[in-house]
Structure 1
Amino acid sequence: MSTPDDAIPVLRLDRARTPEGGFDPTFTTALREALHEVGFLRLTGFGAAPGQAGALLAAASSFFDLPAEQRLELDNRRSPHFRGYTRLGHEITAGRPDAREQIDFGPELAPVPRAEWDEPFRLLEGPNVWPDARVPELRRRAEAWAELMSRVGTELTRAVAVGLGLEETHFDPLFDGEPHWFGKVIRYVGPPPGDPVPDDAQGVGPHADWGFLTLLLQDGTGGLQARPPGSSWTDVAPLEGSLVVNVGEMLEVATDGYLVATPHRVLACAPGTTRQSVGFFWSPRLDARLDPVPLPPGLAAQAPGVHETDRNALLPRFGDNALKGWVRSHPEVAARHHPGLVSSGTPSPFTDR
């Protein structure tokens, strides 16, 4: 069962600061409470240009409507950096295939030669793969969206810091240089018309995000659900002109569990229908380590520690946590390009999920 969608708060980012330029305590308190009590909120007034979100979703639709052989020109199995197009049913969440296809992208970087890696997570640095010959507007619109989301992520990160009783710039050093955000342009696909939805079907299975903050653009279809602490599955209903914001594992680590990376999922689409979204995962540099911040005593008393299990340890250095997530979600890519990271029957932080 789902509880009413008004359990998911709505905040306006354009009201985050006072005319004097500082953060409004009303906003930072509401932000902190939403991310502590629910782990999710819906954000409006975040600065998108008129029509920007719709144009991005339209470009994504143009790509997903291409014939399969043309989509596979971007096959992510060719990318050692986990970039490009993932075929329907070939991303794994909670140990099962998701009913989605997508393009993964991130900061456009030259690959680091394997001989020069200081850490295995350097394999995540590399070029993106775009359908420039087929849908040239997708790259342009996705890159413009990533620029906007980076600004939103920076502002929210600073607001979170103030809400936790810290200096506004407390987290800035973790993002200095080359923050390793990543994006997903996603289409969920239901069974053919007339076919039943299998009982075990999932758009995306229950999981928590491994970054710092997630900023999600969803269309009006619905199907996203969150499970706040102590609650049942809750609909995160679409709200026109909004982003869905949720806590990632890195922010949970940094607050010793005061802010929680709430589990969430996407229900399978009905037969003959699809759903589109664009996820943006705001994250620090790969080498950034998220140590617990000094919380005020009243907040520290409500920090239960991180919610990890023997099947999903939360790793404090972001690159380690990100690499763990990519290897688990895309085992075909990992096995093809990085077999040394794939467990051979023994427990591993990268594959035991």
Structure 2
Amino acid sequence: MKVIYSDKHQAHQGGMELHRGELVPCYEMPSRAQFMLDALRQADFPILPPRNFAPEQLERVHSADYLQFLRTAYSQWQAAGKSGFMLPSAFPARGQRQDKIPTGIHAKLGYYSYDASTPMVAGTWQAVEAGAHCALTAAALVAEGEHSAYALCRPPGHHAGYATFGGYCFLNNAALAAQYLRDQGKQKVVVLDVDYHHGNGTQDIFWQRDDVLTISIHGDPATEYPFFLGYADEQGEGTGLGYCHNFPLPAGTDWPTYQQVLLQALQLIKDFSPDAMVVSLGVDTFEDDPISAFKLKSEHYPLLGAHIASLGLATVFIQEGGYAVAEVGQNVAAVLQGFEQAAQS
């Protein structure tokens, strides 16, 4: 399996986030990608740089005005006399207008985001664009006949919606990969999200579509980020009704419980009979992850990969969460090794 990686992710670093009422240094930091890269190299996965893609490719899943905001936000911040990292200070809540895009940078930040945990810095656009190109390159390899490919994307992407950012995410790499596969002739695609946190952005993008099935296994939003989406009764809308499935699980969920739910999700995928699959691979389900509360152990990640491989589908893995613990790298490598070994058996 080829690994797609760009060191441009390092341009996105620094800043603070508001995490459960406290202003703290970001958990989403460059070291997490380095842990993953080191482990993948040690496991002898080939590392390739991303290809370049036209800017219009990003408009397949994101609005043009939102993309223009991301490209120019930091220069607007500087023009307002600011420096350092950017965080929003106000949001258009219920009863307030959302039909007019504001002109001032402080209002724009709140208009396009939905939390104060996702700082932007001078190099954010460079990093997120490179991450998107990693995802698109992995999808292109699979579209061209590879059985699988993995995009080491940083920052992650599954919380980014059609025109919103949050949860450390700016561009939805998994959605970009799924849409690319559709554009290249795959009639039906599934996105399986195994990150600890609900893939609310992916759900948003494909909410009214029946050609992309979305499935997310995650911490219960009653207590876990992103809080306001990810309940089991969210099933899509219009032609997309029945093509969205959520499996919220309580804090403390261990492998036997997780595996049982995973098998239910895999059966839904079999019933859908997709032509290809995108996996939003978060390993923040690990027992020692600093911002999550599941109890999976390192020994379970090869089993996760093997279960995914049992579907026999051409698969694009997109890196999502998994935070600054040394085991994050070995757990990612274990999923991919488990997948490869099962796919070859």
TM-score by length of 2: 0.29
Task: Between the two structures, name the one with larger relative contact order (CA 8 Å, sep ≥ 6).
Answer: 1
TM-score by length of 1: 0.28
Larger Rg: 1
